[in-house]
Structure 1
């Protein structure tokens, strides 16, 4: 028969790691900690984006004082807004109006060159413009009417503008039915060249778009 002191020593013995109840307790504690960390992380699943502290006008240089960082839940729409994690780049300009307090779309900010560019529509043959793609970089060539010839005759083509960007292609030109006549294709051109492009259109010059070197865009005329 064991002595009282031996029985007491047995009761006070430190639990073994092999004790199933101890292992279950440890696992429950770990599970609780991990669950809590996940809940906290999920609750703070936000994205830092810029919002305008005041109205932003097209062509305005945007500085740090013009924006503020806000944390919002955007999910898959986050890419549509200006990410604030990298800071605001010097030489950033507003490309369109943004209201005070509005989240700033990524497409609303750009470079000084982009802020000065304008969109001009030029008429092209739909069959030729069918090969154009939005975003293609093209050189603009024009063949002006020959005023010394009877009827409709054109002079030799000349380069009017280099590296214009195709902003919009007629919907019909993107499908199988390209239609007839001439359809407007929108080009983004520097502000200094807008008058020259419009003048060529008004004079009914024949306009041809040639893919710029290194581009795989289409051609229109």
Structure 2
């Protein structure tokens, strides 16, 4: 039959068009490259998700002014993402130059803001409570001038402020923003020289009004 003969004659041409591509076919090479790239990308993604970093954790309670050592610290593998920059990374920290500028509870990760390289010397930490509105420039490591106004007789007003101390280092700051009226404010921890300590304690005991002013000269020391 003529039609059957023509069909048989076209089979070799059709087979030639659909034959399996050889290993040198560029389409096969491109597909293999895409698959390889996809596998490598997945491996790196999974590895990145599982990657941890060694940071320091307080092994015991660490008090203000205490030197950071391998005895009061331990290491921990963590995944903190972008927040890692806020904590002490083992490979990036020199312990011989670090001490606590605030109380650190055992088990806590060590924040960068909780350490300083300043020497405590004869200074002593004094905590003072201040109202809201304290300058944002006043942070741990900066210096302030402190003024005191004594409460006048009757307790309704305060006298003219006198300078109590100058160039006092701030070792810690804690802002409170509670919902209860009168519960807002700022707690500052100041490192007070021994010769000014008595005056500070008297001001606090007599419920005097303390005013703290940022001293930019401390940034140049």
What's the TM-score, normalizing by structure 2? 0.58
The answer as to 2:62 corresponding to 1:57 is yes
User: What secondary structure does 2:46 align onto?
Assistant: helix
Query: How many angstroms does 1:93 deviate by?
Result: 2.0
How far off is 1:71 after superposition? 1.9
The alignment's C-alpha RMSD in Å is: 4.2
Equivalent residue, structure 2, for 1:195: 198
Aligned-pair distance for 1:195? 3.0
Does residue 21 of the first structure (1) align with residue 21 of the second (2)?
Answer: no
Q: Is the 8 A contact 1:120 1:198 kept in 2?
A: no
What residue in structure 2 maps to residue 133 of structure 1? 135
Map residues 1-221 of structure 1 onto 2, 5 A cutoff.
15-16=23-24, 18-44=25-51, 46-52=52-58, 54-58=59-63, 59-94=65-100, 95-99=102-106, 101-111=107-117, 112-113=119-120, 116-121=124-129, 131-136=133-138, 137-143=143-149, 154=159, 157-164=161-168, 165=170, 167=173, 186-191=187-192, 192=194, 193-203=196-206, 207-213=210-216
Q: 1:213 to 1:77 in 2, by over 3 A?
A: closer
Gaps of 5+ in 2: 1-21
In 2, Cα distance between the equivalents of 1:108 and 1:214?
23
Partner of 1:3: none
Q: Residues 149-175 of structure 1, C-alpha deviation per residue, up to 9 Å, x if partnerless?
A: xxx895x75421113449456759xxx
Name the structure 2 match of 1:8: none
Q: Distance in 2 between matches of 1:170 and 1:42?
A: 36
**Could you say which residue in structure 1 is the equivalent of 2:12?**
none
Would the alpha carbon gap of residues 38 and 157 (structure 1) be closer, same or farther in structure 2, given more than 3 Å must change?
closer
1:69 deviates by 3.0
For the residue of structure 1 that corresponds to 2:96, the secondary structure is: coil
